[in-house]
Amino acid sequence: MARRLAGHAEVSHRPANIPHVYVTAIRVLPELADRGWPFTIPAVAHVVRDGLRFSRPVTFLVGPNGAGKSTLIEAMAEAYGVDVRGGHAGRRYASPLPRSRLGTVLRLEMSEEQRAERGRRGRGFFLRAETALGVLEFMNGLPGYGDDLDKKSHGESFLQVFDGRFVDSGLYLLDEPESGLSFTSTLQLVIVLDRLAAEGAQVVCATHSPLLTALPGAEIFQLTAEGIVAASWGDLGVVEEWRSFLLAPETFMRHLLGAEPGPDRR
């Protein structure tokens, strides 16, 4: 069952056999937050109040539109030094953008060992669905991106980059990477995420996909009107919604559209 995260002490520690994580927690010093947006979003207010600790190599942020998933992921990218429009660490898509209000005050907690590893060989990547196509076209021809992204479909471009760039240790921040992917392609992304975790990378992913969140061993946080709760896959609202639809699509649609057909739906 989903449970309230009252603070770091209540979050279970990862098993010893699970690879380390680069970012162990995110937090905001309360005195640096203000009363405006995005600090009014319940999930962001939760981070200001209690922080959010990561205990596994793959973490999913799940919730409805407007819950703050992308806001948190983008702020993490800013704090990590990755272009907020997307791409790999150390390379900017265009001129630097001013940091967001949350990105300016968000802090990533990392051990000294993890900071040293990041500087020595760590990598990072931010995939933002809204700007991904422009970023990938700009990166066309660079190592790991391929030479023909402009000739690929949305989903094909993503898969090519997953295969070519998602290969190093480091922090991978993904904002709705299932965008444009078919069911089969999403399964390929599941395999990529599992491989990254096994090879010592960390992934934090905002998603609406019940398929991605089914990755064994992943940590799931559900963003709600009350804040952030840790949840199991079967308790996610998105899973229940898809389950209800797939079990009886006709009944679901009759309820959605009304029992009696209108003049244009005979």
Query: Residues 6 or more apart from 227 whose CB is under 8 A from it?
Result: 4, 5, 42, 43, 45, 46, 49, 50
Predicted local confidence at residue 191, as pLDDT: 95
Q: Report the phi/psi class of residue 81: left, alpha or beta, with left for phi > 0 and alpha for psi in -120 to 50.
A: left
74, 105, 127, 161, 166 from 86: Cα distances, Å:
9, 20, 5, 12, 14
Tokens of residue 244, six digits: 């209800």
What are the phi and psi torsion angles at 119 (to 5°)?
-70, -30
Instruction: Output phi, psi for 109, to 5 deg.
Output: -90, 120
Measured torsion, CA atoms of residues 155, 133, 122, 222, in degrees rounded to the nearest 10: -70
Positive or negative: CA dihedral 26, 35, 99, 196: positive
Mean of the per-residue pLDDT values for the chain? 81
- The per-residue pLDDT for range 172-226, each reduced to its tens digit, is 999 999 988 999 999 999 999 999 999 889 999 999 999 999 999 999 999 999 9
CATH topology of domain 3-256: Rossmann fold (3.40.50)
Classified as helix, coil or strand, 50 is: helix
Measured distance CA(102)–CA(211) in Å, rounded: 30
Q: What is the mean pLDDT of residues 121-137?
A: 69
The mean-pLDDT minimum among 11-15, 124-128, 153-157 falls in: 11-15
38 upstream amide cis, omega within 30 of 0: yes
Question: Which structure tokens are listed for 113?
Answer: 């060992």
**Residue 156: which region, alpha, beta or left (left: phi > 0; alpha: psi -120 to 50)?**
alpha
Question: Pick from 39, 135, 119: which is nearest to 80 by CA?
Answer: 119
pLDDT digits (tens, 9 = 90+) for 72-126: 999 999 998 887 776 677 666 555 667 889 999 999 998 666 666 655 445 788 8
Question: What is the pLDDT confidence band of residue 29, given thresholds at 50, 70 and 90?
Answer: confident
